[in-house]
Amino acid sequence: MKKMNYQNVKGTKDYLPEEEIVRRRIQRELEDVFIQYGCKPLETPILNYTELLASKYGGGAEILEEMYTLSDRGGRDLALRYDLTIPFAKAAAMNPGIRLPFKRYEIGRVFRDGPIKTGRLREFTQCAVDIAGADSQLAEAELMVMALDAFQRIGLDITIQYNNRKLLSGMLQEFGVLEEKRNEAILVLDKLEKAGWQKVSEELAAKGIGYEAIQRIAGFISDKNIGKLAYYEEMEDKNVHLKEGLQELMELEGYLNYLNSSRKAVFNPFLARGLDIYTGTIYEIFLTDRSLASSIGSGGRYDNAIGGFIGSGKKVATVGISFGLDAIFTAVSQSLSWTERESTADYFIIPINTPKESLALAQYLREKGWRVELELGSRKISKALERANKENIRKVILLGEEEVSNNQYKVKDMETGEEAFEKYDFKKYV
């Protein structure tokens, strides 16, 4: 008989209780922030039509290479969602009665058959917020401030890098990149930090970008002044895309400066975000110390998706941000403040020849709102106490026949060693 392969599929992971407790805690912190910022919960299907996820309003060619596809009994072409953005845009398009601006949050599993590295799996959890119907950069500013707030609560020091796709497109126009090649060039430039200029320049040439344009891009990259928005002002009058992108960035910068957030949110002219969907401001979130190389969150404006799905072609101003729960877990696992085990119970009851009475006492305490764990095995008292210590359960009740006959139970504080008796009528069950 062939031995069954019971290992995890590559790129997936079991989170045992010790880890999952931390993940749930992170998720609660994020959800609390989302709710505080006025976001409403929404849940979308994991399973979608391939046509939807592969549309021109989706993530583009590179992400489609990582999409998991399948078919059902009816022969329909289906796919697992690779993010929460397109399913949200679909839901908004299907429900035109939604009152705008509409601000939602969703926490759910997504799937990508991509490369695996620290903090990046093939099945992972995204925590997303999207705002539909807000065309001001005020929406981007609020999402960035929300991210800074959320990660401060979690205890991670982050930096948000931001840019604008219109500004990028306008600059490529200035460099002589043909319109039909600009999106491809942006996707290649997105690899600049990871791959370096040599590989990026070779890929640009392979994409059909001319030698002169590549040289002008190289000159731009080496200029020390491109990190300041003032650098682009002298070019804005003759370039519509550049002008619009610059105006949006200046508006956003004004909000961030006013909120004293500009130190943690930094303009990066090289940031491109390798997805076709984005139409304006884009951003990525990194640990400030870069102890995790990949980003732990990202987002941007995508004004064409909802109108595209409706078929009207009308732009519906939409902006979103998402955080990778698994990447955040990897980051906080390195933090001393998160290494302490969080207890899953307030009381641990150890029966000493009192199984029925212990069960009744556990139920009584649960009805009062306490989290109670009951020793269900037959281990020795010393072993049971050892377990309570390992599980970081502070209060232990050793319930013997004498306590039952006296209608009381003894609570031991495992931290201080103090003991106290509490009254309880065991006879009412007789």
Average model confidence (pLDDT) for the chain? 90
366 is in an annotated binding site: no
Q: Alpha-carbon distance 379 to 361, whole Å?
A: 20
CATH class in words for 17-335: alpha beta
130 is in an annotated binding site: yes
pLDDT per residue as tens digits for the range 72-83: 999 999 999 999
pLDDT per residue as tens digits for the range 207-218: 888 889 889 988
3-state helix, strand, coil in the chain (%, to 5): 40, 20, 40
pLDDT per residue as tens digits for the range 34-56: 999 999 999 999 999 999 998 87
Statement: residue 394 has pLDDT above 80: yes
For the segment 388-416, the average pLDDT, to the nearest whole number, is: 91
Statement: residue 60 has pLDDT above 70: no
For the segment 302-319, the average pLDDT, to the nearest whole number, is: 87
Q: What is the pLDDT of residue 185?
A: 87
| Superfamily of domain 347-429, CATH level 4 | Anticodon-binding domain (3.40.50.800)
Q: What is the pLDDT of residue 364?
A: 93
Of the ranges 26-30, 191-195, 401-405, which one carries the lowest mean pLDDT score?
Answer: 191-195
215 is in an annotated binding site: no
pTM of the predicted model as reported, rounded to 2 decimal places = 0.85
Confidence of residue 4 (pLDDT cuts 50, 70, 90): confident
Confidence of residue 338 (pLDDT cuts 50, 70, 90): low
Residues with Cβ within 8 Å of 16's Cβ and at least 6 positions away in sequence, in order, are: none
Q: What is the pLDDT of residue 179?
A: 84
Q: Alpha-carbon distance 428 to 430, whole Å?
A: 6
CA angle 80, 81, 86 (to 5 degrees): 150
In the structure encoding, which two tokens stand for residue 325, read together?
Answer: 């729960």
Q: What is the pLDDT of residue 409?
A: 93
Statement: residue 350 has pLDDT above 80: yes
Instruction: Delimit the CATH 3.30.930.10 region(s) of the chain.
Output: 17-335
413 is in an annotated binding site: no
Statement: residue 337 has pLDDT above 60: no
For the segment 19-28, the average pLDDT, to the nearest whole number, is: 93
pLDDT per residue as tens digits for the range 83-106: 999 999 999 999 989 999 999 999
Q: Alpha-carbon distance 345 to 372, whole Å?
A: 5
Instruction: Delimit the CATH 3.40.50.800 region(s) of the chain.
Output: 347-429
Statement: residue 110 has pLDDT above 80: yes
83 is in an annotated binding site: yes
Per-position DSSP letters for 166-189, written without gaps between them: HHHHHHHHHTT--HHHHHHHHHHH
